[in-house]
Amino acid sequence: MITNQALYQLSYSSHAAVRQSTVIIRSTPIRPGPGNVNQFLYTRPQPPLGDRSCPSVGFARAGRGACLSFTSMQGDRLMKRARGFTLIEVMITVAIVAILATVAFPAYTDYIMRSKISEMVGQLSEMRVKLEQYFLDNRTYVGACAAGTVAPVPAAPQVKYFTYTCPTLTATTYTVTATGAAAQGMSGFVYTIDQANIRATTGVGTGWTLTTTCWTLKKDGSC
């Protein structure tokens, strides 16, 4: 019975042209069966000291000049050749990716658009509050939407996806407009708010449904 202890013995002769190397590595008792594949036993004369090469097939370097020959009870190779993909497997993978892209990409694009529109919702709502504060202080809307007042027009770097203007400013009325920035993929989107808190959409992007009586927030025209 062979124990689980591995014995590695190398015998070298410094004065002879041929050196003897004995390598015995056994991890389990030798018994016939499919599991006994990790057994190595080899003893052979080694080449002279000047020749350190091992045979190109079935041998591997095992230290100073020693060579190992790998054998198994079943004769199986220790390293199996890598297996590639078949054409059918590649075609199935491509089809699955195409289906996922068809469904997921439009949904992701719509999600990004809605996140950009949220900037407009926040800025126009805040602008209305500031304009009402300006009116309480001055009893008019004239002069608002300017730097240095309590109601300045939002500008970069605070905003990114829309530009904001006040096309209408009278003593008792105002209109604030948010226009989508084409460079940020928001071309065509235009939203407004006035002193009566009437929120309207006058333009949307390609493929979106326009609802003029509210702020269109979703592609289907819902507010």
What band does 76 get if pLDDT is binned at 50, 70 and 90? low
At residue 67, the pLDDT reads 53
Domain containing 24: what range? 7-69
At residue 55, the pLDDT reads 53
> Has residue 188 been placed in a domain?
yes
Q: Tens digits of per-residue pLDDT, 91-109?
A: 999 999 988 888 888 888 8
> Into how many domains does the chain fold?
2
Q: 100 with 106: CB under 8 angstroms?
A: no
Q: Do 126 and 182 have their domain in common?
A: yes
On whether the pTM is more than 0.75, the answer is no
Q: Do 26 and 121 have their domain in common?
A: no
> Has residue 162 been placed in a domain?
yes
Last residue of a domain, one of 69, 99, 120: 69
Last residue of a domain, one of 17, 50, 69: 69
At residue 47, the pLDDT reads 52
Q: Do 117 and 189 have their domain in common?
A: yes
Q: Do 64 and 138 have their domain in common?
A: no
Q: 57 with 36: CB under 8 angstroms?
A: no
Q: Classify each residue of 35-52 as buried b or exposed e, where b means 16 or more C-beta atoms within 10 Å of its C-beta.
A: ebeebbebeeebeeeeee
At residue 42, the pLDDT reads 45
At residue 74, the pLDDT reads 47
Q: Tens digits of per-residue pLDDT, 7-63?
A: 333 333 333 334 444 444 444 444 555 554 444 444 445 555 445 555 544 444 445
> Has residue 24 been placed in a domain?
yes
Contact partners, residue 1, CB within 8 Å, separation at least 6: 29
Q: Do 141 and 207 have their domain in common?
A: yes
Q: Do 144 and 214 have their domain in common?
A: yes
Q: Do 125 and 222 have their domain in common?
A: yes
At residue 197, the pLDDT reads 95
Quickly list H helices, the chain. 87-138
